[in-house]
Amino acid sequence: MLDTAMIWRLYEKYYTLKYTKKRISRKEMKVIIDSINEQLCNYYFQESPSGQRTRALINKNIQNFSNQEDKEILIALDAVLREYPIVFSKTYSDHNSDLDSFMNKELKKLSNTLINHSLFKNDDNAKRLRGLLV
């Protein structure tokens, strides 16, 4: 589903956000979100994402998933991708507040649904991130 190294990268970013004064790099977060999108799109739809295609795939196919955990991940991923153009737009200048809001809302919801999925119940990185997001 998702490489546990991605869970670790999310942990690092949330740790930085919570405990340090360092700014989170918008470019680094974009790379993480793109990777999560790619991995989840490949896992759930056996396709590589392109643009907003993942959102279309989610909306078209969500009713075909019987596992509630998977549906929750797809709903949370859709919310992340809905905000993606705003947060990562190259033309918009005040990204800091948007990125913080995005990380504390949409991305936090996706992170929580991922780490609480049964596939990650015993994963050490998921446990660390779960403890941090409480």
Res. 46 pLDDT band, cuts 50 70 90: very high
Residue 78 vs residue 89, higher pLDDT: 78
Average pLDDT taken over every residue of the chain: 91
Reported pTM: 0.92
Angle value at C-alpha 52, between 70 and 112, nearest 5 degrees: 35
Instruction: Look at residue 100 in the predicted model and tell me its pLDDT.
Output: 87
> Measuring CA to CA, how many Å separate 29 from each of 93, 117, 123, 132?
16, 22, 22, 18
Instruction: Look at residue 93 in the predicted model and tell me its pLDDT.
Output: 57
| Residue 94 confidence (pLDDT) above 80 | no
Instruction: Look at residue 95 in the predicted model and tell me its pLDDT.
Output: 57
Element (H, E) at 80: helix 68-87
